[in-house]
Amino acid sequence: MPWTRFDLINAFNSWKKTEAAGRVFTVSPGGIAEVQVTGLVWRTQVCQQVFEEAAVDCGRALAAFSESRSGKRAGKRVGFPRFKSKKKSIPSFRIRNKQADTGRAMIRVGDNGTARSVTLPGIGVVRVRDDTRRLRRLLIKQRARILHATVSYRARRWWISLTVEAADLHPSHHHRPRQHGNEGGWVGIDLGLTVFAVAATADGTEVDRISAAPKPLTTGLGRQRRLAKSLSRKQKGSHNRRDAAVRLARHHYRIANVRRHFAHQVANKLVKTHDRLVIEDLNVAGMLGNRCLARAISDAGWADFARMLTYKQAWRGGTVAIADRWYPSSKRCSECATINPALTLADRVFVCVCGFRGDRDHNAAVKLAVWPNIDQDFSRSPDPRAGGRATKVRRQEGADRHPMDVGETGLVDAETDVHATLVA
């Protein structure tokens, strides 16, 4: 059958009333058994859009699998959709906001005088904990429109997530436009573990330093171990094991919320005060291969912070430049631009041959602020002559080295050795 969402919806609507969907056997007083087709007996108790949105997700997953298999989809290979397990996946359903016969929207916020409530089709008025004042004001002024409502069950709590199409921020919240030809004003942001973020300008002025990172995973590791140990001691299938799993899930959910809340605060602070930001293209997935720093890197949440910073700056009309992954911001001196190849992660003070001595994170932030105004190609391969990275060469012969990490003499020697080895 076709894999489009409309075909799946039509196929499901035809199947749900058939004998394959449900049947019962009735026996008459005379002992004659008959088959009575019932279909899905509970289909009228669930909103029709729940089935439709599930079919939409299924069609999207099948299309991604087909395009990935045929080579039309770039990126990581997508496998065939798997069935959703009730024990491993998060129970959730989505409802689309449609217009009722009366002309009112089926999903409403603050209906019938109840401010903190959401009205869902087939369910009715549901009281919520969070304040809905800002959303109600946008809906009343017709500056926002609700598209979907997703109801999920996490850590023994129900959550309602509204997908809203809203207007842009008020012009008073936007950054002032730059004059034509003004290429300055960039602020580099260097992310780290000891200090979460250091922001500095190209002239060396440090504008912000965020060092009070909460580190929720490290803080709650003792409680996490106790909860995990308590879960492992419970008998499988028992109610006590289910309750222990819920306590552990709530602990993990709280850790994620603390980390996300801190990232939102820092990102909002930076985008409100600076209209041009520069961040690094960090290979977070590759950094997690370091077993000594994997836990600390995961607890920092660099990737999520960079994502927040990008879309929040776009809301205010600002710009976020992403420095190339091979740009040596930490090893390059902010005074004379000389590269220090001997710098290690343990060195917190940057020392240069020119006599400059300063904080490592501050020096990296200054070099990131200079990135948009330099004309250099750092996106090339680490081994230009070989056409790619030399992976079959011993370390001392130049394998896995980047040209910007060594001096000019060392660069020529490394490239010559690699090229000679490949030719041989």
DSSP string, 388-400: S---SS-GGGTTT
| pLDDT tens-digit map of 136-194 | 999 999 999 999 999 999 888 899 999 999 988 888 889 988 887 787 889 999 999 98
CA distance 125 to 123: 7
Residue spans of the domains in the chain: they are 5-70, 92-166, 171-373
Phi/psi for 91 (5° steps) reads: -65, 125
Instruction: Give the pLDDT of residue 420.
Output: 31
Q: Residue 310: CB partners within 8 Å, gap ≥ 6?
A: 320
Write the pLDDT tens digit of every residue in 279-299. Answer: 999 888 888 988 888 999 999
Predicted pLDDT at 376: 55
Residue 259: Cβ within 10 Å count? 21
- Estimate to the nearest angstrom the gap between the alpha carbon of 119 and the chain centroid: 29
The predicted structure's pLDDT at residue 103: 80
**In the structure encoding, which two tokens stand for residue 219, read together?**
């803080």
Among residues 371, 252, 262, which one has the least CA distance to residue 308? 262
What phi, psi does 275 have (nearest 5°)?
A: -95, -10
Q: Given this model, what pLDDT does residue 347 score?
A: 81
Q: How much is the pLDDT for 381?
A: 42
**Residue 71: both structure tokens together:** 């080579």
Q: What is the pLDDT of residue 5?
A: 83
Per-residue pLDDT band at 399 (split at 50, 70, 90): very low
Element (H, E) at 309: helix 302-315
Q: Mean pLDDT, to the nearest integer, of 365-392?
A: 60
Look at residue 255 in the predicted model and tell me its pLDDT: 95
pLDDT score of 83 more than 90: no
Q: Is residue 318 predicted with pLDDT exceeding 70?
A: yes
pLDDT of residue 375: 56
Predicted pLDDT of residue 390: 42
pTM: 0.77
Euclidean distance between the first and the last CA atom of the chain, given in angstroms as a whole number: 56
User: What is the band of 270 on the pLDDT scale with cuts at 50, 70, 90?
Assistant: very high
Report the percent of the chain where pLDDT is more than 90: 46
Local confidence band at 359 (pLDDT 50, 70, 90 cut-offs): confident
* Contact call for residues 133 and 146 (beta carbons, < 8 A): no
How far apart (Å, rounded) are the C-alpha atoms in residues 397 and 393?
A: 6
Taking residues 252-269, report their average pLDDT.
Answer: 95
**What is the mean predicted confidence (pLDDT) over 347-366?**
86
pLDDT at position 264 over 70: yes
Residue 32 has pLDDT above 90, yes or no: no
SS (H, E, C) 334-365: CCCCCECCCCCCCCCEEECCCCCEEEHHHHHH
Confidence band (pLDDT; 50, 70, 90) for 417? very low
Q: Tens of pLDDT along 221-258?
A: 999 999 999 999 999 989 999 999 999 999 999 999 99
Q: Between 315 and 341, where is the model more confident?
A: 315
Pairing between β-strand 319-323 and β-strand 33-37 as defined by DSSP bridges: unpaired
CA atoms of 90 and 343, how far apart (whole Å) = 45
Total Cβ atoms within 10 A of residue 398? 24
393 falls in which pLDDT band (50, 70, 90)?
Answer: very low
